[in-house]
Amino acid sequence: MSKRVLTTESGAPVADNQNSATAGVGGPILLQDQHLLEKLARFNRERIPERVVHARGSGAYGYFEVTDDVTAYTKADFLGEVGKKTETFIRFSTVADSLGGADAVRDPRGFALKFYTEEGNYDLVGNNTPVFFIKDPIKFPDFIHSQKRDPFTGKQEADNVWDFWAHAPEATHQITWLMGDRGIPASYRHMNGYGSHTYQWTNEAGEAFFVKYHFKTNQGIRSLSADQAAELVGKDANSHQTDLLQAIERGVSPSWTLYVQVMPAAEAAEYRFNPFDLTKVWPHSDYPLQRVGRLVLDRNPENVFAEVEQAAFSPNNFVPGIGPSPDKMLQGRLFAYADAHRYRLGVNHTLLPVNAPKATTAENYGRDGFMATRNGSRHDKNYEPNSYQGPAQTDAALSAPLAIHGWTGTHEAPAHTKDDDFFQAGELYRLMSEDEKKRLIANIAGGLSQVSREDVIEKNLAHFAAADADYGKRVEEAVRALRED
């Protein structure tokens, strides 16, 4: 077997990779040492800007297999036949901390899935919770600023976290999720995933339905207490990455069963909750889970940077039969996610192997820009329409149109009959066992008791009391006990 030759970036062989060129023995280094300068310059540029949120992540390849007929609801080809398999890539992540943060922390988990379908890539960007803290994207930068490291202290501050929540009563439902038993998953394999947002499905007849995605782990739910998590972080800050990597390497293929809730579009306007409010769920008694298929992960990435750090997901990557809803948070993310990738990775990030279509070919007139690798030739025109058989539109809409009416302006979301910021948080609390309630109260009190301002504490206590009188009373007692110690 011939020995591989080390070369420069331009392909020239390298004679010495151990010693820099100098002016005589022991002399100063020469500027003409192209190999040294190239290595140092490239090393200085190895890192790209980390994600503002979801920076710390892990990924894996796999497939999605359809197990149940859902063609009555969607014309999406990859869901069109029982038994059909589609290659996938998933990225799990924590939300608030930086790239160097620990895995086993109390934080929502990202659950971002890319389907490499024959009609183009479909990206489903969700979390391990079915709801979120806010319902309008204009509040998202402020929310994240309150959860990230303080610009003065350089660490997450309870004052910032709870002050924002004091002014965002709609966060009470998600806080109850986050501070509950599922707030720290034992691993990525042992948690559910949710599309969280409401999406639209359209069938061949043009009928529209609104759907919510639920990926139920087949490994069973396992979570960590605050004490268990603290101990695990001390032993292995990369615990979730370690678990996922080693499980797949052992041949243990994690899997999830996908269910959807389906609401005929005509029922949305009169539903008792606003079906497009990201702080709300649809009770299963109203819209039962319907099985769709299973997701299986069976291959680890060969290079974490190339395939996990450079993986780009955007909820506006739809395929025929799937589209957006009037969910305001989803509408904001349709722009924000793709724009974040253009900033981090460049306008040609869709050409990177992990992001490029695998079951079809991208055909468009996008040209040039940094790191362009697809520029066309003398026979390829860079405009449309043209007379040279270039790609042309299909005139077939991906999804059904959404009806709109009224005046433009900065409106609050429309209220439905049972809409408020606290009802569903109270329902979740009342579903918990006594032991679950005790742990929830302890987790909330542990953070809220660290807040320096009494008025901020009082505002948050009022939110829990509005959700459930017992909930509020017990949180208040626990906070007071901790502050008196």
The residues that bridge with 91 in the sheet, in sequence order, are 59, 112
Closest Cα to residue 73, out of 244, 385, 287, 233?
Answer: 287
Choice among 35, 121, 127, 197 that is catalytic: 127
Annotated catalytic residue 127? yes
Closest Cα to residue 337, out of 310, 308, 314, 312?
Answer: 314
Dig out the tokens for 344 from the structure.
Answer: 């981090």
Closest Cα to residue 179, out of 484, 482, 425?
Answer: 425
Secondary structure of the chain as H, E, C letters: CCCCCCECCCCCECCCCCCCCECCCCCCECCCCHHHHHHHHHHHCCCCCCCCCCCCEEEEEEEEEECCCCCCCCCCHHHCCCCCEEEEEEEEEECCCCCCCCCCCCCCEEEEEEEEEECEEEEEEEECCCCCCCCCHHHHHHHHHHHCCCCCCCCCCHHHHHHHHHCCHHHHHHHHHHCCHHHCECCHHHCCEECCCCEEEECCCCCEEEEEEEEEECCCCCECCHHHHHHHHHHCCCHHHHHHHHHHHCCCCCEEEEEEEEEEHHHCCCCCCCCCCCCCCCCCCCCCCEEEEEEEEEECCCCHHHHHHCCCCCCCCCCCCEECCCCHHHHHHHHHHHHHHHHHCCCCHHHCCCCCCCCCCCCCCCCCCCCCCCCCCCCCCCCCCCCCCCCCCCCCCCCCCCCCCCCCCCCCCCCCCCCCCCHHHHHHHHHCCHHHHHHHHHHHHHHHCCCCCHHHHHHHHHHHHHHCHHHHHHHHHHHHHHHHC
How far apart are alpha carbons 63 and 361 in whole angstroms? 19
Annotated catalytic residue 54? yes
Choice among 35, 54, 173, 416 that is catalytic: 54
Active site residues: 54, 127
